[in-house]
Amino acid sequence: MPKKFIFRLESLLRYREHLEQMAQQMVAQAHMDLSECENRLTILGDELGGTLNDLERRMLAGIEADQYHRYTAYVVQLETVLAMEGERHKDLIRILREKQAILSKRSVEKKVLENLKQRKQTEYYDNVTRLLQKESEEMSIIREVREMER
């Protein structure tokens, strides 16, 4: 009976699977960071819009100078934070794309080895089948020769 198929690069394949899983985790984390940033941008945008509406209403009703200065300072601060978060959003998109490129590369590297393993396994079992077929034919011939000798 032939030996079981052994892929000599199995440890490398497992290592590449591990690298792919790590890359998948990094992409997932980048997605979460980006989503969190987008939520923060939405909240800040809503806060800025609400504050501007509130300031406009108070200005129509009459507002004291010190309150006006506090509102405008708060609006400037919100706009600054919003701009910083917008820059962070751009960076997170860039990071996500980089992580996705790494994941794609890792997936291809793993797939190459998986395909090689599959091809080698198919060749091995085709070979085994041929050998068993040859053995079977030889046994048949031997039987026929024995029967003829009788």
CA 78 from centre of chain: 34
Per-residue pLDDT 10s for the chain (150 aa) are 668 889 999 999 999 999 999 999 999 999 999 999 999 999 999 999 999 999 999 888 888 899 999 999 999 999 999 999 999 999 999 999 999 999 999 999 999 999 999 999 999 999 999 998 998 888 888 888 888 876
CA 69 from centre of chain: 48
Backbone region of residue 62 per phi and psi (left: phi > 0; alpha: psi in -120 to 50; beta: other values) = left
Its pTM stands at: 0.75
